[in-house]
Chains A and B, each alone.
Chain A
Amino acid sequence: MVQLKLDPASPIPMYLQIVEQVRRAIAAGSIQADDEMPSVRALATEHLINPNTVARAYLELEREGLLTKRRGAGTYVSHDAEELRHAQRVRIVTESIDQALTAAREFGWTPEQIRKAVEERLNHMNTERKR
């Protein structure tokens, strides 16, 4: 089951919050192929939000191939979500890397400095984990 944490007062549109959290849940494996998603109505009532918002999020996720609507039977995580999971993981990590790289570029770091920083963080994480 997806546990959505939605913040209506956020500058991020609510439908995008849903899209992003479902993507991440699929990437993390907390929802899996062929799992049934809550209905638009159920999700809207649970979170006290406009059903159109949920419908828009589901449509976007269908377009990305992560969710599939089965006629008269609700919305499911796609059958090939296992393969999609890899793509999602790549996408999420790539986005984070891009963010860090943008910051580094703004500070005028050279590629060598960036590589060194990444190495350092990797080593740091490994020693943290061993402890």
Chain B
Amino acid sequence: MSQPAIAIQGLSKRFGKRAAVDGLSFEVPTGGVCGFLGRNGAGKTTAIRMLMNLTDPSAGQALLLGLDSRRHHAELMSRVGYVAEAPILYDWMTVRELVRFTSRFYERWNTAAVDALLGRFGIDDRQKVRHLSRGTHAQLALALALGHDPELLILDEPATGLDVLVRRDFLESIIQIIQQEGRTVLLSSHLVHEVERVADQIVVIDEGRLLVSARLDDLKLRTGQSLEEIFVGLVGRREEVRQ
């Protein structure tokens, strides 16, 4: 087995007394799509922000591509692509200016791939970013995150607020991305059906804790349930216990 694309060990984040992420451990093998599921507020974004070194863990560590997310942040920046939940783009620039601006942060930049994606999404690169619709904005963020041909792509709720057709486009791009061998995608979402289509591994968290990490096929064979039933079973049962 090759090394996992992501290896998280005992990752925790406390805000005062509240643990947003609580002793989270799981691995994502290289070359697949991991659906990172949880309800709103389950701790997905906080966990991802620690992976991206945007916030410090209270405990534990994360290895991305075998490298510590904090110590090797600079190298990881050139090998990992990231789209935040609500990506903030410089909206006074035109799309073309923003692409050029972003490319300067990287040694390698795949102009052809970015142009192809913009073309597929039907984005006119002379437009001002400010004038883009919400869906186009998200697609532009994805295209930018792919410019440096990342080996690992981390998407935080990328399809939230997009209409059905744009979401299909988005899924299609994700599938295109993993057609390139050895690329790994971590896709965080609370939309079970989206994840069910593309994920081969499922990680479910609730209240910052891991509920399950398994291959989707194995989960279905073991339980005889759809992902929605599995998800509701896992998260709903906790709800009952709490009441």
Segment 163-208 of B: residues with Cβ below 8 Å from A: 168, 171-172, 175-176, 178-179, 193, 196-200
Segment 140-184 of B: residues with Cβ below 8 Å from A: 168, 171-172, 175-176, 178-179
Chain A residues contacting B171 (CB-CB under 8 Å) are: 48
Complex: how many Å from CA A12 to CA B172?
Answer: 22
Q: Chain A: which residue is nearest B216 at the CB level? A: A13
* Given A49-B197, A50-B33: A11 touches B175 (CB 8 Å cut-off): no
Q: Do B175 and A53 have beta carbons less than 8 Å apart? A: no
Q: Do B225 and A51 have beta carbons less than 8 Å apart? A: no
Q: Do A48 and B193 have beta carbons less than 8 Å apart? A: no
Contact of A50 among B175, B220, B228, B229 (CB under 8 A): B175
Complex: how many Å from CA A13 to CA B226?
Answer: 9
Whether a CB of chain B sits under 8 angstroms from the CB of A15 is: yes
Q: Chain B: which residue is nearest A9 at the CB level? A: B226
Task: Render A48-64 as a binary contact track against B, CB cut-off 8 A, 1 for contact.
Answer: 11111100100000000
Q: Give chain A's interface residue range (CB within 8 Å of chain B).
A: 10 to 19
**Main SS class of interface, B:** helix
Q: Do A11 and B224 have beta carbons less than 8 Å apart? A: yes
Q: Do B200 and A50 have beta carbons less than 8 Å apart? A: yes
Interface centre among B33, B172, B198 (most CB of A within 10 A): B198
* Given A8-B193, A51-B179, A52-B178: A13 touches B198 (CB 8 Å cut-off): no
Q: Do A13 and B175 have beta carbons less than 8 Å apart? A: no
Complex: how many Å from CA A70 to CA B31?
Answer: 24
Chain B residues contacting A94 (CB-CB under 8 Å) are: none
Whether a CB of chain A sits under 8 angstroms from the CB of B221 is: yes
Q: Do A44 and B217 have beta carbons less than 8 Å apart? A: no
Complex: how many Å from CA A96 to CA B216?
Answer: 27
Q: Do B220 and A11 have beta carbons less than 8 Å apart? A: yes
Complex: how many Å from CA A45 to CA B179?
Answer: 10
Complex: how many Å from CA A9 to CA B32?
Answer: 19
Whether a CB of chain B sits under 8 angstroms from the CB of A41 is: yes
Q: Do B31 and A52 have beta carbons less than 8 Å apart? A: yes
Q: Do B178 and A11 have beta carbons less than 8 Å apart? A: no
Whether a CB of chain A sits under 8 angstroms from the CB of B19 is: no
Q: Do A50 and B199 have beta carbons less than 8 Å apart? A: yes
Chain A residues contacting B223 (CB-CB under 8 Å) are: 11
Q: Chain B: which residue is nearest A52 at the CB level? A: B200
Complex: how many Å from CA A53 to CA B32?
Answer: 10
Q: Do A52 and B168 have beta carbons less than 8 Å apart? A: no
Starting from the known contacts A11-B223, A11-B224, A50-B33, 18 additional A-B residue pairs (CB-CB under 8 Å) come to A9-B193, A9-B226, A10-B226, A11-B229, A13-B220, A14-B217, A16-B217, A41-B179, A45-B172, A48-B172, A49-B175, A50-B199, A51-B175, A51-B178, A52-B32, A52-B200, A53-B200, A56-B217
Seen from chain B, the residues whose Cβ lies within 8 Å of a Cβ on chain A are 31-33, 168, 171-172, 175-176, 178-179, 193, 196-200, 216-217, 220-221, 223-229
Return the 6 tightest CB-CB contacts between A and B, nearest first. Answer: A13-B217, A8-B197, A8-B196, A13-B220, A11-B226, A50-B198
Ordered by A's residue number, 6 sampled pairs between the chains whose C-beta atoms are within 8 Å are A8-B193, A11-B220, A45-B172, A48-B197, A52-B32, A52-B200
